[in-house]
Amino acid sequence: MKTKNFPALVIIIFLIPFYSYGQVVPERQWPGYRGYLSSGVLDNANLPSTFDLQKMINIKWKISIPGMGISSPAIWGDKLFITTAISDADKAGFKPGLYGDVTSVNDTSVHAWKIYCIDKNTGKIIWERTSHIGVPKMKRHPKSTHANPTAAVDGKYVVVFFGSEGLYCYDFNGNLQWQKNFGVLKSVWVTMKNAEWEFASSPIIYNDAVIIQCDVLENSFLASYDLKTGKERWKVSRGEYPGWCTPNIYSYEGKTYITVNGFKHRGSYDFETGKEIWKMSGGGDIQIPTPIIGNGLIYFNSAHGRNSPIIAVKKSASGDITLKEGETSNSGILWSKPRGGSYIHTLLLYNNRLYNMNWNGIINCLDPLTGNTIYDSKLGQTKSFIASPVASDGKIYIVDEEGTVYIIGDEDTFKLLGEFPLNDICMTAPAITDGIIFFRTQHYLVAVGNN
């Protein structure tokens, strides 16, 4: 081999982990809610350790996003996708803070549900599409919007779910491929049916299938659709309370499964057939966090009402594994904690630590194999939090509702590395790509990366 060819060979070898036959590898993308398999993690991203929005230090761009949405960005290659619902009359905005108000926002104005495709490097809008125009069929909570679910992408297609306003699939050039309408999906509090809080479960794409979880007041279901055509592959009834969980995917002994959080029916299903594999009941009766995968386990948390568990279920679980009174483990459950789980936040499993973020700013750092506490700490004094944390290169990124970004170290003791204001309300989990972390606030989308 001649010396002059060596640099080219190095480049080819370097690219192999990131490209396969010309396609971007999914593990390096952020293809839906909380990234690849909802992990919330993207290492080797080379994010800046500090930024200043007012001085535009380490700010690559900042753009206004019209309307309201708490969907996170989904990213594939150089394209970022984000949704919103726009109304000239719905001006109430968000109501941040710690409170127990369950009343819906009183608005019946016409909205336009939109998806934007944005160049992630420049903030330039590549295309936008209006999926639906009309009066929302459900009202929203003061911390909610009519565009809550995050888009799902796979490099060829982008799927967006607007609840009662429909499920839509576009190609990456913005051409509508198919759409589905499920009628009114009653996303309400089960004990107060006039407390309408809007739909929030995000779709996921895996192996050319679109998976949606619809836990609503009537006729809850889990379903799989062909990504290219929208044809139904299977649909199973769930018999579940209204919830806002996004499903997830895991593999075990060569087979693929879908796992879902729940109160009456937490469990897993065969990816190909929809057959139930295991189930359990109990926990918070308003189920919101997404299950996460690691260490041969599926981690769940929830909180509302009497119970607030954190549960580590074995991938080998089968049948009904509901814990009996006083039990913390059984044949399908490695460990569980009956109290302490989060009402809103999805867990973060990073390296050898499991982070459980609570609405009041308390962080529980746990050993993921035992559930034992590594440390407890608190952020933000009296601040409230709704956005789930994400991580990269030994740092955890947490945003409070008033828009302060806290960066803490991934260590066995709590270490606050910095606080950085976004100067706008923030209810949305950040998204990470190579060199950039994106923050969606009430009015803006901000790209933070090294200048």
- pLDDT tens digits, one per residue of 404-449: 999 999 999 999 999 999 999 999 999 999 999 999 999 999 999 9
- Write the burial class of residue 295 (CB in 10 Å: 0-12 exposed, 13-18 middle, 19+ buried): middle
- pLDDT tens digits, one per residue of 238-248: 999 999 999 99
Q: What is the pLDDT of residue 18?
A: 35
Query: Which residue type is seen at 76?
Result: W
Mean pLDDT, rounded, for 237-264: 96
Q: What is the pLDDT of residue 66?
A: 96
How is residue 255 written in tokens? 């087979």
Task: Give the range among 67-71, 100-104, 388-392, 409-413 with minimum mean pLDDT.
Answer: 100-104
How far is it, in rounded angstroms, from Cα 354 to Cα 335? 13
Nearest to 90 by CA among 132, 133, 130, 145: 145
Q: Are strands 204-206 and 152-153 parallel, antiparallel or unpaired?
A: unpaired
Q: What is the CATH number of the domain that holds 217?
A: 2.130.10.10
Q: What is the pLDDT of residue 19?
A: 33
Bridge partners of residue 134, in order along the sequence: 111
Band (451; pLDDT cuts 50, 70, 90): confident
Q: How far is CA 205 from CA 34, 131, 167, 383, 385, in A?
A: 13, 19, 13, 35, 28
Bridge partners of residue 411, in order along the sequence: none
Query: What H or E segment, with its residue span, contains residue 15?
Result: helix 6-15
Query: Which residue type is seen at 235?
Result: K
For residue 10, what are the domain limits?
3-448
Q: How far is CA 390 from CA 409, 410, 429, 436, in A?
A: 12, 11, 7, 13
Bridge partners of residue 313, in order along the sequence: 298, 333
Contact (CB, 8 A) for 338 and 325: no
Bridge partners of residue 377, in order along the sequence: 363
Q: What number of other Cβ atoms are within 10 A of residue 13's Cβ? A: 9
Mean pLDDT, rounded, for 70-96: 94
Q: Torsion angle, CA of 210/215/221/226, rounded to 10 degrees?
A: -10
**pTM summary value:** 0.93
As for how many domains the chain has, the answer is 1
Mean pLDDT, rounded, for 32-41: 97
Is the pLDDT score of 348 beyond 90? yes
Is the pLDDT score of 311 beyond 80? yes
